[in-house]
Structure 1
Amino acid sequence: MQFKLLAAAICATLPLVASAQSSVTIYGVLDAAVAYEDNGAPNGSRTVLNSGNQSSSRFGFKGAEDIGSGLKAIFNLEGGVAIDTGMGDSALFGRRAVVGLQGSFGSVTLGREYTPIADVAKESDIFGQGFYGTNLSAFGTGRLTRRISNSVNYKSVPMSGLRVGAAYGAGEALTGPSLDIMGISADYTIGKFYVGAGYHTVERLASGDDKEMIVGAGYKMGPVSIKGNYMVADLTGANNKYEQVNLGASMSSGASTFYANYQQQKLEAGGAKGNTLAVAYSYAFSKRTNAYATYARLSNNATARFGINSSSTSLTPPPANLGADPSNLSIGVRHSF
């Protein structure tokens, strides 16, 4: 009888031993907003319910296991979900899917990961890549690359405030251009000052590589933060350069935070130019729940058809409406777990 009780006690402690060696966290963000949007075209306005205006709604799993000798095995699976419809992204874990090792050298991961430029873009955006008017409008077809599949990634630990990163994504093409992407980044944080830069090359065509780059900075003075960046996507060929500039500020007072950002987009072909002014307000009920309101308006010149982006949604004039000026007013709530 005593042997059976001892055996049962040992078995009961095994899960505790395992949990001390490894950990898995389930997390997510749920964000929904009522929005009045106008794409700038005749009869182009409507009222909608959007998902992910401040933060993309998501769910994920991440974990680490201590495997000895100062090493940890790490993983992260993250997928998007639309709160307005309940639908998931077309790829189950399209936001992030990596596994790798972490140690005193930093971390090495394999899978689908954020690019080196994406890390700098997030750190230097006053909206944190949320709210309409964010710098996410610099990413997408023919512009900068935010995520890469089939990738090998390295991120160093901070060394006196300096961090470096590198990534290689295999295009895995059997014929023609390889579609490979290579990127590097470096950023430096000292006190309340941040500065970072990143660079990518993409072998999209048989001759010449597409080039992408970013420089960004930020500074915090008590309740006030200032952030800005300059981004370029220079595709192979003449007159294909896309440029974006952002300059923003925020101020916190108790549970309230006020934001403002100015953004300019330019396309070399045709001299297209668009200027966006965006403001936002957030009230934090707790560390995990806040309500927000945001307004953004983009003014395009006669040859431009730029759009505005939030974390998961975008608003762009129809192809036939060059010079149209899109705008968005959103009121929403966000909860993280």
Structure 2
Amino acid sequence: MKKASLALAVLAASTSAAWAQSSVTLYGIMDAGIRYTSNANAGTSQRQLIPGGMSQSRLGINVTEDMGGGMKALANIEHRLNSDTGVPSSVNASGVNDFWRQAWVGLQTNAGIVRLGRQYNVLFDAYAATLASYKYSPFAEIFKPELGMTLGARQDNMVKYSFASGGLSGSLQLSAGEATTNNKSAGGLLKYASGPFAVVGTYLGVTDSSGKKATATIVGATYTAGPAHWNVVYATNKFDTGSLLQASITGSLGANAGGAAYNALTNDVSKRNMFQAGVSYQLTPQLNLGTSLYLVDQTPQTAGRAKSKLTLWSAVADYAFSKRTDAYLEADSSSFNSAGVARFANGASKRTGVTLGLRHRF
């Protein structure tokens, strides 16, 4: 009996191995930096250890099963954490630690990929994959104003279909609200790339739990010539009165970039525009340089209230010790340049920051 059971077990193992090959990959990033910020606390500067200057620290698992014939099963779960304390890096709309930032299962065929679960939306995909502020690292985690235009960057309960054919690629997403906040969505992305040139356009509409809608449109282009890479992007958000997504830019600008002050009137935003232009340059195989400028304006819903404007700038020098470990120096500035916007808590209209950090990918 024991011999028969052993034979059956060996046969089952060899049979499954013959038609399906699975792989499970553990991956992650650990990033920490020392940061100086001017006008941080009632007119005084601030020095702190931050849990990520260029990247949010994370730990994830990718699963792939090759089922033959061009078909693969896919799955991903990813946790974000603060490297200075070890705690989860975000809190969701219910005030609970948001442990899994991604959690989805998918199927890849010759016709494309379908993913189901919590995942990045098409607006985030446009920035991270094509319109990144820095080609070698999509954006600086400590200063990422473009992500404020992505209506939350992720949606729960999502079905996303992605395809690629030659230089043309795209995605469609749908997500059910299921009575939760900010998750009912529909949108798409279309990209064309040819040689050194790429252009992308995307649209997304998101309805919050109160039935209020927010929409976003992002269009941009990139051009690469040798070690130089340029990008130009225009993004716009529109909000229904009372939309819970009006303050979406706050978390991405953060206190360092003036987000909290910029959104003092978080429930009085009709339209928000952002123009972005940047360049990255690979000076040596190890050293990458980059800079990006962001011009933001925000129109209030209250009649007679002035439009607010914000000028943002960042620059990064990144030195790679190896394929996995790099050090970086980041500098940024925020400037309110209109009477219609609230100032920082200390009344200042400008703030600057400098971060020196270390990052390891595994």
Task: State the TM bucket, normalised to the shorter chain.
Answer: 0.7 to 0.9
Distance in structure 2 (CA, Å) of the matches to 1:52 and 1:151: 28
In the superposition, relative to structure 1, how do residues 14 and 85 fare at CA in structure 2: closer, same or farther (>3 Å)?
farther
- CA offset at residue 193 of structure 1? 1.1
- CA offset at residue 26 of structure 1? 0.3
**Contact 1:29 1:55 survives alignment (8 Å):** yes
Report SS of the residue matched to 2:126: helix
Report SS of the residue matched to 1:27: strand
**Contact 1:171 1:181 survives alignment (8 Å):** yes
**Contact 2:52 2:142 survives alignment (8 Å):** no
Q: Does 1:183 align with 2:187?
A: yes
Q: Which residue of 2 aligns with 1:49?
A: 49
Q: Which residue of 1 aligns with 2:103?
A: 97
Distance in structure 2 (CA, Å) of the matches to 1:218 and 1:132: 23
Distance in structure 1 (CA, Å) of the matches to 2:25 and 2:78: 12
Q: Does 1:124 align with 2:131?
A: yes
Aligned partner (choices 285, 310, 314) of residue 278 of structure 1: 314
- CA offset at residue 243 of structure 1? 1.0
Residue identity (%): 29
Q: Which residue of 2 aligns with 1:227?
A: 231
CA deviation string 1:63-88 (max 9, x = no partner): 11123443211001011011101112
Distance in structure 2 (CA, Å) of the matches to 1:219 and 1:298: 27
Report SS of the residue matched to 1:83: coil
Q: Which amino acid aligns with 1:271?
A: K
Q: Which amino acid aligns with 1:134?
A: K
In the superposition, relative to structure 1, how do residues 305 and 38 fare at CA in structure 2: closer, same or farther (>3 Å)?
farther
**Contact 1:167 1:183 survives alignment (8 Å):** yes
Distance in structure 2 (CA, Å) of the matches to 1:291 and 1:112: 31
Q: Which amino acid aligns with 1:162?
A: L
How many residue pairs get matched? 315
Q: Which amino acid aligns with 1:290?
A: D
In the superposition, relative to structure 1, how do residues 205 and 10 fare at CA in structure 2: closer, same or farther (>3 Å)?
closer
CA deviation string 1:176-195 (max 9, x = no partner): x9962111111111112111
Distance in structure 2 (CA, Å) of the matches to 1:56 and 1:207: 32
Q: Does 1:297 align with 2:327?
A: no
- CA offset at residue 121 of structure 1? 1.6
Report SS of the residue matched to 1:118: helix
Distance in structure 2 (CA, Å) of the matches to 1:289 and 1:15: 41
Q: Which residue of 2 aligns with 1:151?
A: 158
- CA offset at residue 39 of structure 1? 4.5
Q: Which residue of 2 aligns with 1:243?
A: 273
Higher mean C-alpha displacement, 37-46 vs 211-220: 37-46
Report SS of the residue matched to 1:326: strand
Distance in structure 2 (CA, Å) of the matches to 1:69 and 1:233: 42
**Contact 1:131 1:294 survives alignment (8 Å):** no
Aligned partner (choices 299, 304, 307) of residue 268 of structure 1: 299
Asked which structure has the greater RCO (Cα within 8 Å, sep 6+), the reply is: 1
Normalising to structure 2: TM-score of the pair?
0.79
Q: How does 1:1-337 map to 2 (within 5 A)?
A: 17=17, 21-39=21-39, 42-89=42-89, 90-94=97-101, 96-122=102-128, 123-127=130-134, 128-139=138-149, 144-156=151-163, 158-173=164-179, 180-204=184-208, 209-237=213-241, 240-252=270-282, 253-269=284-300, 270-301=306-337, 302-305=339-342, 317-318=344-345, 321=347, 324-337=349-362
In the superposition, relative to structure 1, how do residues 63 and 207 fare at CA in structure 2: closer, same or farther (>3 Å)?
closer
In the superposition, relative to structure 1, how do residues 179 and 147 fare at CA in structure 2: closer, same or farther (>3 Å)?
closer
- CA offset at residue 207 of structure 1? 7.3
Structure 1, unmatched stretches of 5+, are: 307-316
**Contact 1:133 1:261 survives alignment (8 Å):** no
**Contact 1:71 1:103 survives alignment (8 Å):** yes
Distance in structure 2 (CA, Å) of the matches to 1:41 and 1:271: 26
Distance in structure 2 (CA, Å) of the matches to 1:205 and 1:100: 27
CA deviation string 1:160-181 (max 9, x = no partner): 211110111111129xx99621
CA deviation string 1:22-41 (max 9, x = no partner): 11100000110000113456
Normalising to structure 1: TM-score of the pair?
0.84
Distance in structure 2 (CA, Å) of the matches to 1:146 and 1:178: 11
Structure 2, unmatched stretches of 5+, are: 90-96, 242-267, 301-305
Higher mean C-alpha displacement, 190-199 vs 165-174: 165-174
